[in-house]
Amino acid sequence: MSTSPLHAVAHLLDTSARICVLTGAGVSAESGVATFRDPDGLWARFSPYELASMDGFLANPDRVRDWYNYRRAIINSVEPNAGHVAIAKLEKMFGASFTLATQNVDRLHQRAGSIRVLEVHGNIHENRCNGCHGVRSDDELTCPSCSGSMRPNVVWFGEDLPEDVFAAAEEAARTCDVMLVIGTSADVWPAAGLPYTAKMAGAQIVEINPNQTSLTPHVHHVLSGTSAVILPQILEAMT
Ligand code: BV8
């Protein structure tokens, strides 16, 4: 009897020791949070360089702050979906041998129960000082410590990723047996390089996405569908 691609992935997880998961905006789509590059995504309506770059912020800080507050309100009004919950369950099953690296800044993984989350692009619920890099959870516009201007604590285009966080994600990619790449267009570097790092180190790469991406030709297993549907099915098929 031939095994379905989904059952083959479930078997892969059953027989693997170290699991790494990389998520993108697609994991939050079924919660009602817009992705970036889908036809109805944020970049179809807003300019990434005006709203997700330092130049854009310096040119019009109020416009950028308003956009992030608009996104914060949406994120605070939604709930994690079954895909987030399934990923949190995988962490409980694999314990310290499980690593979740996310490009998402919405913290829906944490709200679904994920404990150790490597946020390679930051956290939308905090602000960071442009001067002293101090992080605050309130909505102060000026840093009380150094009077620098506060901006969302996310990684913008042209900005380095948090070094220790990305180093941990790279280490997990180098040492895992399987990497699940879920809900990402795999177009934004250097996070998009993590699946290639894992593959070069000998891991099996699984892509879970309703669409093809630039990564699709390079993976070992493709599960075409949405994460809130597919991930619970994988857990159901695991022994
Ligand atoms: C940097 C702000 C060093 C946070 C974002 C080569 C090497 C290094 C850098 C570069 C390089 N080439 C170009 C660069 C520069 C740039 C880059 O990669 N540009 C791209 C566009 C070509 N990278 C950077 O600038 C990075 N910094 O490299 O620093 C440096 C320093 C100085 C000068 C040069 C380099 C910083 C990147 C972070 C940018 N920040 N946003 C925020 O506001 O949220 S971008 C944005 O893209 C988000 O961060 C997001 O996390 C990220 C990735 O997007 P995805 O999560 O994949 O979402 P997307 O919409 O694209 O795709 C969704 C997918 O889900 C789709 O495939 C869809 O089919 C699927 N889907 C939809 N529904 C579902 C689903 N899947 C499952 N279930 C569903 N229901």
Domains in the chain and their CATH numbers? 1-33+79-120+161-239 (3.40.50.1220)
Ligand 1 neighbourhood includes 75 CB (under 6 angstroms) = no
- How much is the pLDDT for 3? 85
Q: Which of 121, 218, 220, 221 is catalytic?
A: 121
- State yes or no: pLDDT of 1 exceeds 80: no
Q: 239: Cβ–Cβ under 8 A, 6 or more apart, which residues?
A: 14
pTM beyond cutoff 0.85: yes
Any catalytic annotation for residue 218? Answer: no
Ligand 1 neighbourhood includes 156 CB (under 6 angstroms) = yes
- How much is the pLDDT for 57? 96
Q: Which stretch of 40-44, 53-57, 191-195 has the lowest confidence by average pLDDT?
A: 40-44
Structure tokens at 59: 């040119």
**Whole-angstrom Cα Rg for the chain:** 18
Minimum-distance ligand 1 atom for the alpha carbon of 152: 43
Q: 7: Cβ–Cβ under 8 A, 6 or more apart, which residues?
A: 237
Q: What pLDDT, in 10s, does the model give residues 134-165?
A: 999 999 999 999 999 999 999 999 999 999 99
Q: What pLDDT, in 10s, does the model give residues 58-95?
A: 999 999 999 999 999 999 999 999 999 999 999 999 99
Q: pLDDT class for 24, splitting at 50, 70, 90?
A: very high
Mean pLDDT computed over 14-38: 97
Order of strands across the sheet that contains 98-102 = 117-119, 98-102, 19-23, 178-182, 204-209, 221-224
Distance 47 CA to ligand 1 centre (A): 14
- List the residue whose alpha carbon is closest to atom 72 of ligand 1: 26
Q: Which helix (H) or strand (E) holds 175?
A: helix 163-175
- How much is the pLDDT for 102? 99
Ligand 1 neighbourhood includes 45 CB (under 6 angstroms) = no
Minimum-distance ligand 1 atom for the alpha carbon of 105: 44
